[in-house]
A and B are shown apart, each in its own frame.
Chain A
């Protein structure tokens, strides 16, 4: 019998079955990477953001997410809570600009501002709706390592009745503050997913950014 039974199942079932059972090699690889990054930093300490700060930021974000889930709020009240967490810990303008892709070049500053605000609400609703899946979940912050100019903080998510899985948070201080700009869950990259989604929405509106902004206000 087939492993994948129905459309789209491969993605979801395997991401849960897999868990960390085969992550040994990766963990060793990460540890090695972190050690290298640490030695590389010793002489100049050229990076303002460090491993401890990146981990602390994600630790706080995860705590806030956990208390939002535990608050028992649902619907718009919960989405509003997520939006405030998103604004506090994420580099929303950079994420929004990246999701809009090429179109962000020709967009006016006013359009970018309107798009960023609409995008923020859309993300909060979209992911807020799915937070029922995370009730009773626990995130543990593991190690951080440097990648290019930013830090990648690994957390392990423990969900009811499922093998634990990895969630990576990419953190940068390029905005002037320590903020995360991407979340990667079992290889699935939020920035790339939203870039595809916003790109598809824009295509469906023949590249009309204003129409996209208007519809994004209620999407998600």
Chain B
């Protein structure tokens, strides 16, 4: 684990070293489109085999059980988010997520319930090492679609690897407990996939080009998360000033 972290640190330093202060990225930078599309086809096949709703089944499954599986998974993801917030120099979300973790792990019975969100106004603040890299000034890089993980960018792909290596819960728990925690996190992701079944399946199976649609939506949503705003006003799209809009 120490070696993995060391390796990750080298990669990160190399990235930071060559990165200028990142301006807000726009547009789609996808030089690996050919291989990305192959990966997309693979991911879609995996989703179709494992998760796609069977004919007659609802796409979205959202009930108390699925929610609690999702809750346990996201609760176990909180320590890593706390570490990332600290690495970003953002103490407030770190403190909030810490209290959220303590409340839901105890009163919430190991994260099955979410009293922190429902009674203490402590919703999860989402973050990850990809965001930490962005805060440190690393550029977004090209769009990539990762196996199983799906849409990403070069920066977020490194973030995903570092988050896996860092895994604070895995550092504390040993043996069977660590394995159980990992299993619970995977189960939580499966539950999330079912809770959001309508939107995920409309993108994957109803789009004319699900690769292009997923790429666009991922980049827009991710940039929004990282910048806290949709775009600069200067980049706002005004269809009334758009050449395609001119009446003939």
Contacts and interface: CB of A to CB of B under 8 A. Distances in A.
A12 B191 CA distance: 12
Interface residues of A, number: 70
B240 A184 contact: no
User: For the complex, would chain B's binding face be called helix, strand, loop or mixed by DSSP majority?
Assistant: helix
Given A26-B228, A132-B60, A19 B123 contact: yes
Interface stretch (B10-18, B133-141, B149-157): B149-157
A14 B230 CA distance: 15
Interface string B198-216: 1110111011110011101
Contacts, number: 217
A6 B47 contact: yes
Nearest to A185: B221
Contact of A7 (B47, B77, B170, B182): B47
B240 A94 contact: yes
Interface residues of B, number: 77
Contact of A102 (B199, B244, B248): B244
Contact of B190 (A6, A109, A181, A184): A6
Given A1-B77, A4-B149, A196 B123 contact: no
Given A11-B221, A12-B192, A191-B239, A1 B123 contact: no
A208 interface: no
Interface string A137-164: 0000000000111100000000001010
17 contacts: A1-B186, A3-B160, A3-B163, A6-B148, A7-B44, A7-B148, A7-B150, A11-B222, A13-B196, A17-B74, A98-B239, A105-B244, A130-B199, A133-B199, A150-B238, A186-B225, A203-B209
Interface of A: 1-19, 21-23, 25-26, 29, 33, 94-95, 97-98, 100-102, 104-105, 109, 126, 129-130, 132-133, 147-150, 161, 163, 168, 170, 172, 174, 181-182, 184, 186-189, 191-193, 196-201, 203-204, 220
